[in-house]
Amino acid sequence: MWRALRRAGSAAPRSGPGVRGERRGPSARRAGRTCATIRMPEVNTDHLDEQQVQLLAEMCILIDENDNKIGAETKKNCHLNENIDKGLLHRAFSVFLFNTENKLLLQQRSNAKITFPDCFTNTCCSHPLSHPQELEENDAIGVRRAAQRRLKAELGIPMEQVPPEEISYLTRIHYKAKSDGIWGEHEIDYILFVQKDVTLNPDPNEIQSYCYVTQKELKQLLDKAARNEIKITPWFKLIAETFLFKWWDNLNNLNKFVEHEKIHRM
């Protein structure tokens, strides 16, 4: 059964300049030199949720199409279609968390989210940030640390319950999708699996409902999305239609699906 969360109230519109006057650090300036052909546009964020706007100042990891680091840029600039259309690409991850009954934890994104609000999706989807702990690439340890951080931030899962060594990195996908006329996604997405019973205390600013589902229940959800009765995120749709069920059938033998050298172009 889906559990709905209630937000304390919609955030008041921002009266100040939002992130338009954000200060760019040295890593951002280096990224600007790396991507010298991209002029970062100004976008008014005054009408958006204040908590989500604050997150737009986070520094994401810019990469090339082979997932090599080339710099850093704000989350805001990484998610503007105007920049995506010019080739801006960043690193991301998608977590699929199963309990010991082999049920998958899904969430419905809050209507406060700037990209793909109200959409149903996998357990957790976010970005490693451009700081040393999450930039470390050996066995994707930086990405797995970021996943641990965001599982806590979004779902309230205590960090000690999901240590990075218990998060399995399978493979990567490269996809691009528009959320609306302004915002979108262009990511190389690390696919991460966890199987564990965890404690949940979701943040209603991030998540409006959540549920553990069986394979049958997920297929019913996907059928509803195909009939436009609900919305699902584009990355979750791609992963579910291409890989998810065969991975799900082999939770005790995922090693045969590990493809760290491959990036699936979706």
Residues labelled as active-site residues: 125, 187
Residues near 252 by beta carbon (within 8 Å), at least 6 away in sequence: none
Neighbours of 131 (CB within 10 A): 14
Sign of the C-alpha dihedral, residues 50, 54, 57, 61?
negative
Cα 189 from Cα 202, distance rounded (Å): 23
Q: What share of the chain is helix, strand, coil (3-state, %, to 5)?
A: 30, 25, 40
Strand pairing partners for 106?
211
From residue 53, give the alpha-carbon distance in Å to each of 41, 102, 133, 164, 172.
16, 36, 24, 28, 28
Which pair of structure tokens corresponds to residue 244? 């998810």
b vs e for 196-215, b when ≥16 Cβ sit within 10 Å of the residue's Cβ? eebebebeebbbbbbbbbee
Neighbours of 65 (CB within 10 A): 11
Residues near 137 by beta carbon (within 8 Å), at least 6 away in sequence: none
Which pair of structure tokens corresponds to residue 199? 């404690």
Q: Token pair 């045969």 is at which residue?
A: 256
Rg of the chain over all Cα atoms, to the nearest angstrom: 18
Q: What are phi and psi of 127, to 5 degrees?
A: -135, 140
